[in-house]
Amino acid sequence: MDKGLRFKNKLLILGLYLFLLLGNFPAHGQDKQRLSFPIKQYKLENGLQVILSEDYSLPVVSVAVAYNVGSINEPPGKTGLAYLLENLMFQGSQNVGRMQHISFIRRTGGDLNATTTEDKTIFQQTVPSHQLALVLWLESDRMKSLEITAANVEQAKEALIEEIHQRKTTEPYLESFLTFDRLLYPNLAYSHSVIGNEADVRDLTVEDVKDFYSTFYTPNNAVLSIAGDIDKRKTEEDIRKYFYTIQKGKDIPLPPSPKPSGKEATIISKEFLAPLPGFHIGYRIASPYSQDFYPLKIIEYILLHGITSRLYKKLIKGSRIARSVSGSIEERKELATFKIFVSSSNEIMVERSKRVIFSEINKLKSSLVSEKELRKAKNIFKMDYLNQYATSADKAVFLAEAFLSKKSLDDLPDELENYLSVDHYSLIRIMRRYFTNEIVFDIKIK
């Protein structure tokens, strides 16, 4: 994309940010916040879901191909498969040579990205609108005929093992996050690292990779999301041309069901080679598909987002008893957890930080949030929500992720309003329901 166009987009987003922070959007009940772009959804005979959204503001188009697969779907002892496949998807297919996919996109002046998480894998490209057919051809070729050879697999394994080593040296708290996940999530499928375990990665075979690819990287386990400057009729013709002949895959095996989570608090202390002591606090909360999720998200913003959030003001800006504070609601399929991480200069400050956090949580259980604070949290949330589809690339991914999350696209126009309509009383109700049994994990320095 042209740098000038990117700069203009950033200016528009900055203007939107200032507008929202000033609180200049209509109050609840005056005007519903709805999606401002069209959506068309349909399915090919082979099961491929297609989502189209026209946007003629710029002469570009973005394509996201999202597969409903992540580390949750990996068999025991074969962690790292999903992350490995992300790499292999650029190593060539029947009609595309090794790394040619990247060079084709960049030659058009386009941009691309890929990501693998616990529950999804997404490949994204943005190109000039007249290059859409090229992207569809590239994506269909690797969906149909990925080149999986012993040489490709070994090379991808070595690259992944190197990344595992790098992360251990560059992310000093990594091991504590992984240990904390094992406390929060009920079984190995939901708690192991997305990039996998080194021993498991070394033992992966070509047959393991081929079986995983043929099972999950199929049209009936994927969604094709296209947003931007498109001729809808021509786009539908090209989609059919490139994807129609790809055979439907076998029935997709469901990931293992999570075991019932216990109510008891768990407190564990252990020494890690981290630069500062700290701690994790977590709560098992409602499913992302629950109505309770809307107030839970606003609580996340009240506590953790922005320089006016409660924990930032109490721990960083005010008393400065913590060096860092971060956290969010983390979703993994039907599971969700509320996670907080804090580092402090010494163990005395660690204990003080904990007391502050539990004090703020107890206040939210017993006292109404002021109208001003609630409005400010909603302003910041709204800005983040709208930024999910600020560009054509964002929009393509937003729609693909919405589909994979089992949300009905027909319900999307009302989703933002559901968050913005959260009131003071529902916050207290939700705090009392879910913030009762914390799981705490301390990080002590040798």
| pLDDT tens per residue, range 272-303 | 778 899 999 999 999 999 999 999 999 999 99
31-50 average pLDDT score: 84
How far apart are alpha carbons 381 and 339 in whole angstroms? 17
Pick left, alpha or beta for residue 333 (phi over 0 → left; psi -120 to 50 → alpha; otherwise beta): left
Residue 172: Cβ within 10 Å count:
15
Q: Please tell me which residue, 431 or 275, carries the higher pLDDT value.
A: 431
Side-chain-side CA neighbours of 105 within 13 Å: the count stands at 23
User: CA-to-CA distance for 241 and 17, rounded, in angstroms?
Assistant: 41
Residue 106 has pLDDT above 80, yes or no: yes
Q: What is the share, in percent, of the chain residues with pLDDT greater than 90?
A: 79
Domains identified in the chain and CATH numbers: 36-243 (3.30.830.10), 267-445 (3.30.830.10)
| pLDDT tens profile 182-207 | 989 878 889 999 999 999 999 999 99
Mean pLDDT of 162-181: 93
Please give the residue that has the higher pLDDT: either 87 or 37: 87
CA nearest 305: which of 389, 383, 386, 421? 383
pTM of the model: 0.89
Residue 148 has pLDDT above 90, yes or no: yes
pLDDT in tens, 295-342: 999 999 999 999 999 999 999 998 899 999 999 999 998 899 999 999
H or E element that contains 360: helix 347-366
Q: 308: left (phi > 0), else alpha (psi -120 to 50), else beta? A: alpha
DSSP assignment letter at 15 = H
Torsion 265-257-409-36 (CA) sign: positive
**Dihedral class, residue 165 (left if φ above 0, else alpha if ψ from -120 to 50, else beta):** alpha
DSSP 318: I
In the DSSP assignment, the letter for residue 316 is I
Q: How does the average pLDDT of the chain come out, rounded?
A: 90
Are the C-beta atoms of 292 and 218 separated by less than 8 Å?
no
